[in-house]
Structure 1
Amino acid sequence: MDRLSPLTANIFLIALLCCCISGTSYAQVKSAEIEIVGLDGPERENVGRALEVPPDLIKEGIVDEAWLERLKRQVPEKVRQALEPFGYFTPTVVSTLEKSGVGTYRLRVEVEPGKPVLITSVTVNVSGEGALEAAIKEMIVDFPLRQGDRLRQDIYEGAKADLEKKVVSFGYLDAAYSEHSIRVSLRELSASISLTLETGRQYRFGPVSFTGNPTYPEAFLQRYLAFKPGEVFSQEKLARTQSNLIGADRFKVVTVRGKKEAAVDDAVPVEIDLSPSLPKRLKFGIGYGTDTGLRGSVRYQDLNIGRLGHGLDAELKVSEIFQGLGVRYVFPAKVDMKSFSSLKLGFEREDTTDKLVEYVLVEGEHTRTIGRDILGSVFVRLQQEDSSAGHQTTRSFLLMPGVRLSGHRYDDVIRPTRGFRYDLEVRGADRSLGSGTSFLQFLGSGELIVPLPQRVFLITRMRLGTTTAHESAEELPISVRFFAGGDNSVRGYRYQSLGPEDADGKVVGGRHMIAGTVEVEKALGKNWGIAVFYDTGNAFNNWSNMNAAQGAGIGGRYYTPVGPIRLDLARQISVREPDYRIHVTMGLDL
């Protein structure tokens, strides 16, 4: 057969050492390499591993010539054993030890794999209660080794383990092979495979007990279970339950065990041992953004008020342009761990170059899960506002009912390389309900991250807002008007500097807003990245007069456990005298 060009693997390093043992001196190898000829792919890799030098035979980088001679004699058997998993049982192996310099050796191994062993029959049977499961039947039909294939023991072992794992995942915890064999005939170079898996009986989830003095009521803890008593027992659901409880951020230690040995009538009791963490917490945060300037926050949480599992969350946020104080009381729902009702009271003040917005609010919200990754909520918000933009002033009371829908899925929290998120909201006010004005608004935002080759990622973002109102734009409260520009909008422009203007050129906000981003990021090392981006968008009163602003530039990224640090240099596009602007965002929890 044709031989491939030599492939070499250096496995000894240059070393200088003299060794005397019981007065007998052995020639010392200064450098050695093993050259494997005639193999490629996984077969060559496995042979290379078989010929590796055991670590305890190398001392201070030195191995003697006597050991190399022993290795040379062992090569044929080592190669044969390394090729058997790939169906080659009768290889021809020629090994030569060549001295190519002072203390420098080459062990050349020439391999002719020979004819492979072919599979003549494959018999896979499953007996017991689980034999009728459709997914198990499908795995039998799709068994990866078939008649006429070359025998691959690695594929066989993987398929055998996967079938058993699948059966166990359906609650057949006693599943075991009563027969698993490969019969090989070297004379005929043939092999027959025979597998018989006994499923045993099917187990189900039994009663759940919580131990460790968790201090939370049992009804609250039941929300985190990924199963219900009576469902088919699954280790995957046990693992998800443990993940849910750890993610609740209420427990220092979580241990979830299915006690099969205590099963009664095939119902496996589940014991969950919890060690609660402190429910009362005080957190401080500090950061900086080009939009906000220096910013800081103080947050107080009590996650178990009255040992009912209710939560209190109070946060003070302060920056150069924004000040806000909010208090929220959360009533957890019993249906699942993400559903809740809440009552929020707050005050917010934002003072930018062209506007000042101040309001107090009270908001009630009820949130439920829709499927696994979607949250939907209905809310009612009462808001008293006193704001100004340019020469316009709005002092109004709003009663705004609305609905929200949100979802997200990322492959990593700190540095996502694939995933998406979206937030949608519809809200409105009407004079007939006591509001000072009438309008209906839709707000939406989203992000999509798509991985490309060479650790490059395409990131797209979109923000949209639109308002339907019978009154003029000046009658719309400033707090619900739209503005564009800034770190998270159209870079190259100052924060909220884009939108309709009054007679003096002051930005007063508009009925509608749209902003989009296309960004390509290249990962560098573990924590760094560089990006190029293009932003476009604006706020406006008429869709026919959008006049979208544009900005583009380059940026750097550094990812930390508490979020990324971003530095961007953006340039305005399609303007008579384009300006450059640096955008910086960073934040750390203290």
Structure 2
Amino acid sequence: RVERSFTLKQGMPFRQADWEAAKLAVLRPLLAGAYPAAQIEASEARIDPAAQAADLTLTLDSGPAFFYGQPAISGSRRYPESIVRNLNPVSPGKPVRQQDLLDYQTALESSGYYAQAAVRIEPDPALAAAVPLQVEVVERPEISTDTGARVQASWLDRDILDRGMRLKLDARLETARQTGAAELAWPRTVKGYEHGLGVQLKQEDIKGQETRSTVFAAKRSRTRGQIESTLSLQYQTEQQSIADVLDVRNQALTANYAWTQRTVGRAFYPRRGHVLTLQGGGNGRLVLRGEFGSVLAESRDGIPTDFLFRAGGDNSVRGYAYQSLGRTLTGGVASVRYLATGSAEYNYFFNRDWGMALFVDAGDAADSPGALSPVFGYGVGARYRSPVGPVNLDLAYGEATAKFRLHFSLGVSF
């Protein structure tokens, strides 16, 4: 494997820069794997001007294979050290990999407890049999608040009862939706489970459909490598009205299980993997997205709108207003039992940060599969790779409405 990574082949012209790059290319897989103490022991390029040839000699010293020991944690003051230990994705005795250290660091920084984290090992051959993981963390404040652009306020206490339990209160005011929520979450256990309890109050008026709902939920989730699973129990009660046409009370007690596998590489700008994404070489990328939803019930009566569907908007069918596709009634658009949408988009980046997009979206929402009648939207867009993730600005034409709409979104839809 190491020999295959050597980039200089017989018959290629010799250049000093290529020789240096080839040596690093051979060393890199050893350093990224179980041999972090690997080094170049000797290298020689013997030039024969008469024969117009260069004889290359390269000797590597891999050093011993390294295996994980226990974490050595510094910087943990307010929150229990068990939080750091339980986020560790590796076990003692496993061979060292650079990617494991990056995954551990990412898990710490995304946990909500730490503003910064650094995970490393000391490549000392004497420690190879059980090298400690050096974990340094900078804790976030125990209590914090923030205000977003949508008039959003949050309050978070990360150390309830001195056990690292998190209590978060959220309030958001938008033109068409107002929500308030409280969530109590426990730190991840040694087996990787996270538990939470929550309550949410929501009021919204979208395309003439007014709803007021209360939701109580308990959930248990686990992330292991590429697999995310969540088991939850939820009770919801809702009052739904559309002008003088509809005024009903819906309620539901549901048990939900979600299982997701993600293989997308880097979180901000995936370059390979699968979540309905196909990608070619160079600066181009083809993104295919599809969504199908169904409520297996004889009618929609009594079913809260959170379990029903409407289509249209930035991450649905562009060219149409948000949730404007559904059952059209006098005074509004009602949610229905079936949803089908799809999108094909081609991205091309002119340089590292800026690109353009061409796309076609299609979809509809209806009360039966036979009533689905897809409408089309197509257009062009601009793409910017910002420090916080992709920024997307699209101009779409809705074929059914014969109108243009501007759409703005952040991130990659999976």
State the TM-score bracket (shorter-chain normalisation): 0.7 to 0.9
Cα deviations across residues 372-431 of structure 1 (Å, max 9, x unaligned)?
Answer: 2331111111111221245233323311011113355666666x4746786xxxxxxxxx
- Larger RCO (alpha carbons 8 Å, 6+ apart): 2
Give the direction of change, closer, same or farther, for the CA distance of 1:385–1:451 in structure 2 (3 Å limit): same
Q: Does 1:541 align with 2:367?
A: yes
Q: Which has the higher helix share?
A: 1
Q: Please, which of 195, 204, 207 is the counterpart of residue 341 of structure 1?
A: 195
Is the 1:567–1:582 Cα contact (8 Å) retained in structure 2?
no
**Alignment partner of 1:448 is 2:274:** no
Counterparts of residues 526-565 of structure 1 (less than 5 Å):
530-556=356-382, 561=387
The answer to whether the 8 Å contact 1:452/1:458 transfers is no
1:374 partner letter = I
| Structure 2 counterpart of 1:17 | none
Pair 148,384 (structure 1): closer, same or farther in 2 beyond 3 Å: closer
Q: Which residue of 2 aligns with 1:359?
A: 213
The answer to whether the 8 Å contact 2:342/2:363 transfers is: yes
Greater gyration radius: 1
Q: Are residues 1:582 and 2:405 paired?
A: yes
| Residue in 2 that maps onto 1:223 | 86
**Structure 2 Cα separation of the partners of residues 485 and 221 of structure 1:** 42
Instruction: Spell out the pairing of 1:169-568 with structure 2 (5 A cutoff).
Output: 169=32, 171-172=34-35, 175=38, 180-185=43-48, 192-259=55-122, 263=126, 266-286=129-149, 295-335=150-190, 339-370=193-224, 372-389=225-242, 391-408=245-262, 416=269, 418=271, 448=277, 450=279, 455-469=283-297, 471-502=298-329, 504=330, 506-523=332-349, 530-556=356-382, 561=387, 568=394
Which residue of structure 2 aligns with residue 8 of structure 1?
Answer: none
Question: In the alignment, is the contact (CA less than 8 A) between 1:262 and 1:269 conserved in 2?
Answer: no
Q: CA deviation at 1:217?
A: 1.8
* 1:259 Cα offset (Å): 3.9
Q: 1:165 to 1:336 in 2, by over 3 A?
A: farther
Aligned residue type for 1:380 = L
1:437 is matched with which residue?
none
> Contact conserved, 1:491 with 1:581, CA < 8 A, in 2?
no
Q: Which amino acid aligns with 2:160?
A: I
Alpha-carbon contact 1:214-1:275 (below 8 Å) kept: no
Aligned length: 409
| Residue 129 of structure 1: aligned partner | none
Distance, in Å, in 1 between the alignment partners of 2:169 and 2:62 is 54
Deviations 1:150-196 (A, max 9, x none): 66665554444444444455544555555544445556655554444
Paired residues for 1:23-172 under 5 Å? 138-140=1-3, 156-169=19-32, 171-172=34-35
Q: Unaligned stretches of 5+ in structure 2?
A: none
What is the letter of the counterpart of residue 403 of structure 1? Y
Gaps of 5+ in 1: 1-137, 287-294, 423-446
Q: Is the 8 A contact 2:251 2:302 kept in 1?
A: no
Structure 2 letter corresponding to 1:270: L
- Asked if the contact 1:385–1:397 (Cα under 8 Å) also holds between the matched residues in 2, the reply is yes
SS across alignment from 2:84: helix
How far apart, CA to CA, are the structure 2 residues paired with 1:412 and 1:268? 27
- CA distance in 1 between counterparts of 2:352 and 2:7 reads 37
TM-score by length of 1: 0.59
Which secondary structure state, in structure 2, belongs to the residue aligned with residue 498 of structure 1? Answer: coil
C-alpha separation between the residues in 2 aligned to 1:373 and 1:462?
21
Give % identity: 25
Normalising by structure 2, we get a TM-score of 0.81
